[in-house]
Amino acid sequence: MAKIIGGITTSHVPAIGRAIAKNLQTDPYWKPFFDGFTPIHAWLETNKPDVVVVFYNDHGLNFFLDKMPTFSVGAAPEYNNADEGWGIPTVPTFTGEQDLSWHIINQLVDEEFDLTTCQEMSVDHAFTLPMALLWPSQVWPVKVVPVCINTVQFPIPSAKRCYALGEAVGRAINSWHSNAKVAVLGTGGLSHQLDGERAGFINKEFDLQFMESLIHDPKWATQFNSAQLVEKAGTQGVELLMWLATRGALGAKAKCTHQSYHIPISNTASGIMLMEPVA
């Protein structure tokens, strides 16, 4: 059977793409953020995953406000991105792991999750930038399975439902007839709000408590409804739902191998975590 070897969570703000394009990794503003990935690069080099399942949210490249599924899973042979209007260079094509995609889709439907299945799918900066942070050469040594969660248009799925989705994806991966090593990647957040009266809002205390909870009390954030999460983390901070799904996929127990927290990057609190499942 396949084996989940770890979960990684990180921010995906478009400004990261511009920083990469302009080679600003050692700039004083950006260096603390990019330095947080050095231990993750070492972990990836040592553990060499074969597949990455990516929990992320689409911002209009693949789904727009007129058609916004709650959960969608890619089952395409390959995935491309395009100019989103941010001035971010596009990245090379990602190869899909279709066998795992269909295995996840079938198992999630069996567990009564209602999905949109995408046999063609574009992936935006929420997918491409974290992958470029993990593999700066942008030569992808892994195949991918995109799992998109709506955090853009309300109503959004609850924290409890997203954690359950992650658990179900984890069960599907662990029952996949393959000897592949699988990493799970959750992108977005942490606390930030880009619009309205609270534009620029960051809640460091909540962010750090949330990160700590993923190891010692992983269902802690599921006590909050969507409105409460917006209050605590900001309108866009609800992207922490992808972190919850990632943690759910790792199973009952996990250890933190590396983490960092830095504010701000583009008015966003940036957290990074590398977690490994514990038997």
Q: Which residues are catalytically annotated?
A: 125, 192
Burial tier of 205 (Cβ tally within 10 Å: 0-12, 13-18, 19+) = exposed
The CA distance from 21 to 138, in Å, is 12
108: left (phi over 0), alpha (psi -120 to 50) or beta: alpha
What are residue 186's DSSP bridge partners?
9, 55
Say if residues 90 and 46 touch (Cβ distance below 8 Å).
no
